[in-house]
């Protein structure tokens, strides 16, 4: 099931910057965790591709046990990873965003931290000529009681990361190249080309999202100051949107155990060689 829109609890839009707080009920949280969020955590789409490639090796004589070990050697997610998937699922459902490449496939060591935005993808627009633009997102998960939480500040805080995406073209260029090398021959290549043409005309013609996942009482202080700051230097064609999603109290610490993982793929049975016909 997709992530629900939830109930809007405040609106602190500033000029063209959209900044909203939304509350999700326990039922909405659980439905999302056992639906689209779970699919993203497990990267079902990527796993399907990898399974097809790896099982072809099993059919040529390699041990199915070894194939399964490579495919299923993923450690349990942390709460912030579930939070990222929650935010991504929300944008996919409610903002017409498409994030085609999971950064799990770019990890070179377990739980490594990769440079760049948390989310790098494409967003469908109402432009009939070039209907897609690039979409970049930063997601922070916090169970602090402060308003705003500490994850908003510091070198790796949401404030700094959003400002970098807004102000620094070299960072956006890097993210565009990141998708470029993965778009070739992909089923979303034409969407990337559409977004690229818009970007080449104006490098600020992108969508930038900042998302907070929280489990405290909703409070507009989480986003109000950041909305005002983001609006000060907002380029004319850039869409900036801030969103705080408030889950029921105590949710975040339990996020990794609240969803039910699907069973691991069953080992692929090795096909036996056809019997030779007698003479």
The DSSP secondary structure of 106-174, one letter per residue, reads G-SSTT---SS-SEEEEEE-S-SSS-EEEEEEEEEEE--SSSS-GGGSSTTSHHHHHHHHHH-HHHHHH
pLDDT in tens, 151-176: 999 988 999 999 999 999 999 999 99
The parent domain of residue 140 ranges over 7-41+77-258
Distance of alpha carbon 270 from the chain centroid: 36
- Predicted pLDDT of residue 107: 52
Q: Is 279 helix (H, G, I), strand (E, B) or coil?
A: coil
Within-domain flag for 71: no
The answer to whether residue 209 sits within a structural domain is yes
Position 270 scores a pLDDT of: 38
Q: Taking every pair of C-alpha atoms in the chain, what is the biggest distance, in angstroms?
A: 85
The residues that bridge with 212 in the sheet, in sequence order, are 140, 244
Domain assignment of residue 137, yes or no:
yes
Mean of pLDDT over the chain: 84
53: in domain: no
Residue 276's pLDDT band (cuts 50, 70, 90): very low
Position 146 in a domain:
yes
pLDDT one-digit tens code per residue, 87-138: 999 999 999 999 987 665 555 444 444 456 899 999 999 998 999 999 999 9
pTM of the complete model beyond 0.85 = no
Query: Is the pLDDT confidence value at 43 over 80?
Result: no
Q: Residue 232 domain-assigned?
A: yes
Q: How far apart are CA 206 and CA 203, in angstroms?
A: 7
What total of structural domains would you count in the chain?
A: 1
On whether residue 136 sits in a domain, the answer given is: yes
d(CA 193, CA 276): 52
How large is the average pLDDT for residues 254-258?
86
Q: What pLDDT, on a 0 to 100 scale, did the predictor assign at position 153?
A: 95
In a domain, 60, yes or no: no
């Amino acid at each position: 099931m997709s992530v629900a829109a939830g109930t809007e609890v405040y609106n602190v839009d500033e000029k063209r910057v959209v900044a909203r707080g939304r509350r999700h009920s326990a039922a909405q949280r659980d439905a999302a965790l056992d639906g689209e969020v779970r699919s993203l955590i497990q990267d079902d789409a990527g796993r399907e591709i990898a399974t097809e490639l790896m099982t072809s090796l099993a059919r040529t004589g390699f041990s199915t046990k070894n194939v399964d070990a490579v495919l299923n050697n993923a450690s349990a997610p942390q709460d912030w990873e579930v939070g990222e998937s929650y935010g991504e699922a929300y944008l996919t459902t409610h903002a017409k965003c498409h994030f085609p490449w999971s950064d799990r496939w770019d990890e070179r060591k377990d739980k490594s931290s990769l440079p760049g935005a948390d989310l790098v993808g494409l967003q469908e627009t109402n432009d009939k000529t070039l209907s897609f633009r690039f979409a970049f997102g930063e997601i922070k998960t916090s169970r602090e009681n402060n308003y705003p939480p500490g994850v908003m500040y510091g070198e790796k805080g949401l404030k700094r990361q959003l400002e970098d995406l807004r102000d620094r073209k070299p960072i956006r260029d890097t993210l565009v190249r990141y998708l470029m090398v993965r778009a070739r021959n992909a089923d979303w290549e034409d969407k990337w080309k559409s977004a690229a043409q818009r970007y080449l005309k104006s490098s600020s013609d992108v969508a930038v999202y900042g998302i907070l996942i929280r489990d405290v009482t909703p409070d507009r202080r989480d986003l109000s100051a950041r909305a005002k700051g983001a609006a000060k230097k907002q380029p004319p064609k850039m869409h900036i949107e801030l969103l705080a999603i408030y889950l029921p109290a105590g949710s975040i610490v339990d996020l990794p155990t609240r969803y039910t993982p699907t069973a691991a793929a069953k080992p692929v049975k090795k096909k036996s060689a056809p019997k030779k016909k007698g003479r």
